[in-house]
Amino acid sequence: MMKKLYRSRENKVFAGILGGLGEYFDVDPVLLRIGYIFLVAFTAFIPGLIAYIIAIFVVPEKPSIQ
């Protein structure tokens, strides 16, 4: 079965994008968040923020298990 990228429902601070990436790649989301903060800070903020906003609309939220 192929893994799919979803926004995390459980491991999120803002929209679950980095939490979902952490689950997908089996990496601690805290490390991804720290890396993202440095990336955004060193690229004049705008490109990283635009990419995050686009990801919010493109990456679906993880379906809830009922």
Judge whether 7 and 59 are in contact, CB under 8 Å: yes
Residue 32 near residue 18, CB atoms below 8 Å: yes
Q: What is the pLDDT of residues 24-60, one digit of tens each?
A: 999 999 999 999 999 899 888 888 889 999 999 999 9
Q: Helix or strand or coil: residue 48? A: helix
Q: pLDDT band for 11, please (50, 70, 90 cuts).
A: confident
Average pLDDT estimate for 14-31: 92
pLDDT at 65 over 80: no
**Cα pseudo-dihedral 40, 58, 7, 12, rounded to 10:** 40
pLDDT, position 45: 85
* Neighbouring-strand partners of residue 61: 7
* pTM, rounded to two decimals: 0.82
